Structure 1
Amino acid sequence: MTQTRTETLQLTDGSELRCTVAEPDTAVRGGLVLLHQARGVTDAIRDVAASLAQEGWLTIAPHLYHRDGDDQVHDPEDAESILDQVSRLSADSVLADTDAAFVWLAQQGVESDRMGVVGFGIGGSVALFVATSRSLGAAVTVAGAGIVSALSPNLPPLVEVAGELTCPWLGIYSEQYAMIPREDVEKLRDAASSAKVATDVVVYSGPIDPHAEDPRAAAETWQRILNWFDSHLR
C-alpha cells in the first residue's frame, strides 16, 4: 500500500497549512487535490489519497480545519461539533488552501490541465465551488451538501454557482442520504448543465462511499471517479 505523509505549506497570510500527500510509485499521470469530509482528515481520507496515488495520481489533501489547529473534529460522533466546524469555512479560506495545494502540484511538475479536484461530503461541495473559481482540468463531487442552502454563511449555495463551472464536473449522489434531497440534486443537475463544460450527475439508490460496506457500490463509485479523471486529465 502506498504510504502517505504530512507536508506543511506556507500561506500568503503567514499561516501554515498541513496537507496529507501520497506519491505514485510509478510515473505521475497528473495531480489531484483531495478534499475531506466533515469529520476532517481521517484514516479513510488517507486511504483514498493512497489509493489515488496507486493509480498514478500525485495526491495532496489540504487540512481545511487547520486555522483552528485541528486536523479533524474533536468528537466525530457529535453532530453539533461537526456543524460548528463546517460553519467556519469560507470562500476565502478554502480558495487559499486549495490554491496552495495547486501551487505545490505545479512545483512537482504537474501541468495545470492535468490537475483536478475531488471531494467527499463537505469536501465535495468545496470541490465544486473551487471548480467554479479556478481553471482546472476536471472535478468530482461525491455527496456534497449545501446545494440549495449554503454549507456555511461564507460559502454560496451550489446551485447559485454551478453554471460557472470552468472544467468538466461529475457529481455522484445517493438517495440514501436524507440531508441531500433528490429534488436538490436535480436542481444542481439543471444548474450545472448551463455551464459551458461537460457535466454529469449520477444518483445511486445505495451507498456511494468508496469505503462503503457494500463492495460493489464502493467499486462502482471508485471506477466512475477514475474514469472521469482518465477521460479529462490527459
Structure 2
Amino acid sequence: MSPNETLTPSAPASGFARAAGAPSVTAIVTDGENVLSGPTTVPSQGDAMPAWMARPAGQHDALPVVIVVQEIFGVHEHIQDLCRRLAKVGYLAIAPELYFRQGDPAHYDDVGTLLTELVSKVPDSQVLSDLDHTAYFAATQGGDLRRLAITGFCWGGRISWLYAAHNPQLRAAAWYGKLTGDKTLTMPKHPVDVATQLTAPVLGLYGAQDKSIPLETIETMRQALRAANADAEIVVYPEAGHAFNADYRPSYHAPSAQDGWQRMLAWFARFGVK
C-alpha cells in the first residue's frame, strides 16, 4: 500500500468541537501547501480506529513520527491543524481518536457532560495500547520508529507523560497535562507515579495561572523527577493559564504558545527525532 494512499492535498477540516465553545478569532488555520493530510484508520486491538494523519508532500524517505494526543474534545480541527503544522516542518504526524470505542466527543455540547459521560470511561490501558498500534501503523506509512515522539495537550499531555514510561522506543515527549490526581480503575496512575519509570525525556510546558494544574502539583512533579534523576525539564510561563496553546479558545496566550512550540521542536531535535 502506498503510504500516501489515504491522504489528499489540503484535506478539508472537520470543524471545531461544540463543547469547546465558539472558536476564537485567534484560531490558526495552517494552509495545506506541500502537505498531504486527511482521515485514515489504524488497526488496533481488533478494531479500526479513526485517526487524522499529515505528512510532507513529495517526501519518500522515512519520516520522523510525532503522535499527537487529543484534548478532551477529540481530534477536531485544532488537533488536525497541529498535525499540519508538524507536517510543514518535516514530520509524519498522526492523531488517533482515542475515545472511539466509548463514544464521539463531537456529540457533546458542554465540558461537564463530556467529562462524566465519555472521558472518564476511557481506560489508560486501552489508550496506551492504541498508541502502540498508532506507532506501528505510522511505520507502515513511511514513518521511522527510530525517531518517534509524542505530544499532547491537557488530557493528552497527561497521556504523553504516561506513554514516556510505557514505550521504550519513544525518543521524546512534550507539552502540558495533569500531573497528579485521584486514582480510579480507568486511571490507576498519574505522571507523578511514573517518574521513576520514564524511558524518554519529557518537556513539560505549563502555565502559572492554570487553576486545573496548580503550581504546587508542578513542584511535586519536579521533586519526583529530581528524586528519580529523570531526563526531563519543566518550563512555567508566568502569564499563561489552562490550555494556553489552544489558539481557538479565549485561553490562548500567544507569546507562551509560540515559545512553547519552538521549545518542543528543539527538544525533539535534541533527542534525535528530527
Q: TM-score, normalised to structure 2's length? A: 0.77
Shift of 1:210: 5.5
For residue 221 of structure 1, the aligned residue among 242, 252, 260 is 260
Structure 1 residues 85, 69: closer, same or farther in 2, change over 3 A? closer
CA 1:38–1:107: 2 relative to 1, 3 Å: same
- Match for residue 51 of structure 1 among 69, 85, 88: 85
Equivalent in 180, 195, 201 of residue 168 of structure 1: 201
The answer to whether the Cα contact below 8 Å between 1:132 and 1:164 also exists between their aligned partners in 2 is yes
1:140-219 matched pairs, under 5 angstroms:
140-142=174-176, 144-145=177-178, 147-150=179-182, 153-155=185-187, 156-195=189-228, 197-207=230-240, 208-209=244-245, 211=247, 213-219=252-258
Of 58, 62, 66 in structure 1, the residue corresponding to residue 100 of structure 2 is 66
TM-fit CA distance, 1:78:
3.2
Residue 42 in structure 1 maps to residue 76 in structure 2: yes
Select the structure that is richer in helix.
1
Amino acid in structure 1 at the alignment position of 2:191: L
Closer/same/farther in 2, CA of residues 118 and 150 from structure 1, 3 Å limit = farther
What CA deviation, in whole Å up to 9, does each residue of 1:98-119 have, x standing for no partner?
0111001222343333001100
Partner in structure 1 of residue 132 of structure 2? 99
1:76 is displaced (CA, Å) by 4.6
- Aligned identity (percent) is 29
Q: In structure 1, which of residues 63, 69, 84 is the aligned counterpart of residue 117 of structure 2?
A: 84
Which residue is equivalent to 1:17? 49
Shift of 1:182: 0.4
Give the residue type in structure 2 aligned to 1:159: V
Distance 1:59 1:67 in 2: 22
SS of residue paired to 1:113 = strand
- 1:10, distance to aligned residue in structure 2 (A): 1.8
Residue 26 of structure 1 deviates from its aligned partner by 5.6
Q: What whole-Å deviation, never above 9, does each CA across 1:146-178 have from its counterpart, x for those lacking one?
A: x22147532212211122111111111112210
Shift of 1:29: 4.6
Q: Secondary structure at the residue paired with 1:10? A: strand
Aligned residues: 230
Specify the structure having the higher radius of gyration (Cα): 2
Q: Structure 2 regions of 5+ residues with no counterpart?
A: 1-30
Shift of 1:180: 0.8
Cα distance between partner residues in 2 of 1:97 and 1:228: 24
Q: Residue 183 and residue 197 in structure 1: after superposition, are their counterparts in 2 closer, same or farther (change >3 A)?
A: closer
Residue of structure 1 equivalent to 2:26: none
SS at 2:72's partner residue?
coil
Cα distance change on mapping 1:107 and 1:184 into 2, 3 Å: same
Q: Any idea what SS the aligned residue of 2:86 has?
A: helix
Structure number with higher relative contact order (C-alpha < 8 Å, ≥ 6 residues apart): 2
Distance 1:214 1:50, change over 3 A: same
Residue in structure 2 matching 1:132, options 140, 165, 169: 165
